[in-house]
């Protein structure tokens, strides 16, 4: 795969992930915030289960691997931008692994006290998701700059 094709693939994967996170911040979470505790908890449980699929995983892990491969094969400013993109994306990746996934697991195990489950989940998960949007979008911008620097 050519260097430019690798950067384009990295940008596409990163853009898909950034868009998924942004859609949650822009529409899904505000929409669920308007509903009952039961609706919120059940919808998030179902969304968290549904997102565990090959399409999302390909983008989620590809957005980490492809920029690393691109940076390895590049030099000069393009390599720097690819590394910056990788660093930004790793912030989003780490936030997912360290904050969002454990919160999802706790929500799944929370039982039927939907008010308590929501109270423990909604604010920290939403804040972490907003951070993922910023980090993944910054990563995308860096990858675009890397591609333009080739």
Q: What is the pLDDT of residue 1?
A: 67
Mean pLDDT by 10 residues, the chain (150 residues): 87 98 97 98 98 97 94 90 97 98 98 97 98 98 93
For 75, list phi and psi in degrees, rounded to 5. Answer: -145, 170
- The C-alpha angle with vertex 98 and arms to 125 and 110, in degrees rounded to 5, equals 55
- Give the span between the Cα atoms of 65 and 3, in whole angstroms: 14
Q: What is the pLDDT of residue 150?
A: 83
Q: What is the pLDDT of residue 75?
A: 85
Q: What is the pLDDT of residue 2?
A: 84
Distance from the Cα of residue 143 to its chain's centroid: 15
Tokens of 79: 């390599």
- Contact assessment for residue 64 and residue 136, using Cβ atoms and an 8 Å cutoff: no
The number of residues in the chain equals 150
Query: For the residues of 37-91, what is the DSSP string, one character each?
Result: HHHHHHHHHHHHHHT-SHHHHHHHHHHHHHHHHHHHH--HHHHHHHHHHHHHHHH
Q: What is the pLDDT of residue 74?
A: 87
- Give the span between the Cα atoms of 112 and 48, in whole angstroms: 17
């Amino acid at each position: 795969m050519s260097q430019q094709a690798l950067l384009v693939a990295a940008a596409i994967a990163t853009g898909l992930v950034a868009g998924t996170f942004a859609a949650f911040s822009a529409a899904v979470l505000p929409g669920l915030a308007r509903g009952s505790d039961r609706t919120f908890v059940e919808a998030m449980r179902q969304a968290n289960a549904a997102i565990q699929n090959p399409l999302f995983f390909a983008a989620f892990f590809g957005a980490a691997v492809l920029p690393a491969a691109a940076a390895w094969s590049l030099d000069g400013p393009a390599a720097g931008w690819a590394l910056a993109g990788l660093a930004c994306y790793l912030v989003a990746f780490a936030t997912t692994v360290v904050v969002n996934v454990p919160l999802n697991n706790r929500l799944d195990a929370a039982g039927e006290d939907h008010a308590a489950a929501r109270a423990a989940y909604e604010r920290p998960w939403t804040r972490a998701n907003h951070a993922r949007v910023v980090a993944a979008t910054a990563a995308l911008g860096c990858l675009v700059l890397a591609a333009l620097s080739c």
